[in-house]
Structure 1
Amino acid sequence: MTASDAGAHRLATQTVRALIEAEASVATAESLTGGLVCAALTSVPGASAVVFGGLASYSTDLKTRVLGVPAAIIAEHGTVAAETALLMADGVRRLTGADLGVATTGVAGPDPIEGHPVGRVFVAVTRESERQVRALSCHGSREQIRQQSVGAALELVLEVLTGGSAGR
């Protein structure tokens, strides 16, 4: 296990523990990460108590048809946008009944998308009483950008659960 892998596992473990302590459930809607956030969470023993599941919503069609992101929002803001990330998180929460929805959308590369450079990412976490989104400028290879996105998503879950900054 690399130092990066160990750090990601430690963050996922903290997130699962915080979810258990808060008696809160989570589900993910992931575009550029393609299920890596859910995989990180479910790699932790005991995660089944709090992780409801995830949807790899890589296509625009799934974002609109399954997650309920209005086509008008995507037409106005694009798929790589704070608004889209928030609505993806809302949609997966609504679909699964989870307390928290987590979403990732962005550009992992190799090419820019919708005028956004490689590394532009949005992660969002929503629950009934709160909606948070974070814009990221990630650097490195496609895999490094995806891993940075996973870490940022888990940190945002912790922040929402604890009301403070996590891992910073």
Structure 2
Amino acid sequence: MIDLQVEALAQALLAKGWRAVTAESCTGGGVAHQLTALAGSSDWLEGGFVTYSNAMKQRLLGVPETVFTGPGAVSQECVEAMARGALQHSDAQISVAISGIAGPGGGTPDKPVGTVWFAWASTGGDLKSLCHRFNGDRQTVRDQAVVAAISGMLRMVQN
């Protein structure tokens, strides 16, 4: 299924003449890995940022420090800043950002394990974000997050 989504995303990006960029935390480059598994991805994939630490999110993507002292790394504010920062630091026209708690530890009552925030941004000014709560072990949460990230990119490109 994910292969079909990646192929559809590739065709949609090529049709628009767009390139994509990823900004990943809890998925650790999993989205970029899936995208580059398709031959010819260099025609539509700009690259990716794996920004696991808050310092890297600040340094590479320009996420304001106030995000980390306020809502935190797993928040709408963080992923939206990551998505915008990925566009600003690349030549891509669409980005996806992911930050979450894959587990097994790190969860809180407000943000349990499986909480993953996503944001998708385009150079045209579109910005969408949402939070999923996935079930399963660490790898299952990460796998589900990769699929959701790619699905969201496809929806944004097709609109």
Partner residue of 2:129 out of 122, 133, 138 = 133
C-alpha contact 2:5 2:154 (8 A) present in aligned 1:
no
2:96 is matched by which residue type in structure 1? V
Are 2:106 and 1:123 aligned? no
- Give 5+ residue unaligned stretches, structure 2: none
Q: Does 1:24 align with 2:12?
A: no
Alpha-carbon offset, residue 141 of structure 1: 1.2
TM-score by length of 2: 0.94
- C-alpha distance in structure 1 between counterparts of 2:112 and 2:128, whole Å: 22
Q: Deviation string for 1:75-107 (max 9, x for gaps)?
A: 111000011001101111111121111111000
Structure 1 position 10, deviation (Å): 1.7
1:42 aligns with 2:36: yes
- How far apart in 2 are the matches of 1:64 and 1:104? 15
CA distance in 2, matches of 1:12, 1:118: 27
Question: Hey, what's the Cα distance between the residues in 1 that align with 2:23 and 2:107?
Answer: 19
- Within 1, Cα distance between the matches of 2:2 and 2:154? 13
Query: Secondary structure of 2:97's partner?
Result: strand
Q: Are 2:152 and 1:162 equivalent residues in the alignment? A: no
Secondary structure of 2:61's match? coil
1:68 aligns with 2:62: yes
The 3-state SS of whatever aligns with 1:96 is coil
Displacement of 1:28 in angstroms is: 0.6
Aligned residues: 157
Partner of 1:148: 144
Aligned partners of 1:121, 1:105: CA distance in 2, in Å? 6
Q: How far 1:113 sits from its partner (Å)?
A: 4.0
Q: Distance in 2 between matches of 1:112 and 1:26?
A: 30
Shift of 1:112: 2.7
Structure 1: runs of 5+ lacking an equivalent: 1-6, 164-168
- Tell me, yes or no, if the aligned pair for 1:107 and 1:119 is still in contact at 8 Å: yes
Q: Which ranges of 4 or more aligned residues in structure 1 deviate by more than 2 Å?
A: 112-115
Percentage identity across aligned positions?
32
Q: SS at the partner of 1:44?
A: coil
